[in-house]
């Protein structure tokens, strides 16, 4: 009888296990990369959604108009506080926040129809912001942020 302990794994068993894990990882990792554009689009939608809620709440709290302005031809938007009550002339307003989406979420496209004003009474100008991945990853999902003018309600949708 051999005095060696029979507990534990042999080197062959360990190498077979490591080989199986390596093969499974090599198969599954490309699948994770395919989901990246979708996750970036979802993150962009959440960021814009929360910034619009911030502008709405600040407008009601400070009793002034807040403007979310999407710059044409870029993936950038800015939030202004209309402290001097100048209306849509943004040059005279205080810049509260500026966001460049390309730096945070590359590969995402946004479409919008106008700047959105949040008024102190809780109402807003209506508008829609659409977010989608630019790469052809097979995901046709779009995310929309919709602002209702009469109620000032901000909602998010997937399509």
How confident is the model at residue 92, as a pLDDT? 63
Domains in the chain: boundaries: 49-158
pLDDT in tens, 22-43: 999 888 887 777 778 888 899 9
Q: Mapping DSSP to helix (H, G, I), strand (E, B) and coil, where does residue 153 land? A: coil
**HSE (CB half, 13 Å, CA atoms) of 1?**
3
How confident is the model at residue 72, as a pLDDT? 78
Is residue 110 within 8 Å of residue 133, measured between CB atoms?
no
How confident is the model at residue 22, as a pLDDT? 93
Tokens linked to 155: 């909602």
Q: Which residue has the tokens 């991945």?
A: 133
How confident is the model at residue 2, as a pLDDT? 58
Is residue 48 within 8 Å of residue 77, measured between CB atoms?
yes
Partners of 108 in the β-ladder: 133
Reported confidence tier of residue 97, pLDDT bands at 50, 70, 90: very high
71: DSSP letter: P
pLDDT in tens, 98-155: 999 889 988 888 888 778 999 999 899 999 999 988 875 555 778 999 999 889 999 9
How confident is the model at residue 88, as a pLDDT? 59
Reported confidence tier of residue 84, pLDDT bands at 50, 70, 90: confident
Pairing state between β 108-112 and 127-133: antiparallel
Phi, psi of 46 (to 5 degrees): -65, -40
> What is the rounded distance in angstroms from the CA atom of residue 10 to the CA atom of residue 17?
11
Better-predicted residue by pLDDT, 77 or 36? 77
> What is the rounded distance in angstroms from the CA atom of residue 121 to the CA atom of residue 123?
6
How confident is the model at residue 90, as a pLDDT? 64
Is residue 69 within 8 Å of residue 75, measured between CB atoms?
no
Q: Which of 50-54, 69-73, 90-94, 136-140 has the highest mean predicted lDDT (pLDDT)?
A: 50-54
Q: Mapping DSSP to helix (H, G, I), strand (E, B) and coil, where does residue 5 land? A: coil
- Tell me the mean pLDDT in the region 64-69: 92
The terminus-to-terminus CA distance of the chain in angstroms comes to: 70
Fold of 49-158: minor pseudopilin epsh fold (3.55.40)
Is the pTM higher than 0.85? The answer reads no
């Amino acid at each position: 009888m051999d005095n060696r302990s029979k507990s534990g794994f042999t080197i062959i068993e360990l190498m077979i296990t490591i080989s199986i894990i390596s093969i499974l990882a090599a198969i599954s990792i490309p699948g994770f990369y395919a989901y990246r554009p979708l996750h970036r689009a979802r993150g962009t939608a959440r960021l814009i959604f929360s910034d619009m809620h911030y502008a709405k709440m600040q407008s009601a709290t400070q009793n002034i108009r807040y403007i979310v302005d999407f710059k044409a031809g870029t993936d950038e938007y800015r939030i202004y506080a209309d402290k001097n009550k100048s209306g849509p002339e943004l040059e005279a307003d205080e810049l509260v926040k500026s966001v460049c989406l390309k730096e945070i979420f590359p590969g995402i496209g946004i479409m919008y129809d106008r700047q959105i004003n949040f008024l102190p009474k809780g109402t807003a100008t209506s508008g829609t912001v659409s977010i989608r991945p630019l790469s052809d990853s097979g995901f046709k999902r779009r995310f929309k942020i919709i602002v209702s003018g009469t109620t000032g309600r901000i909602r998010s949708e997937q399509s």
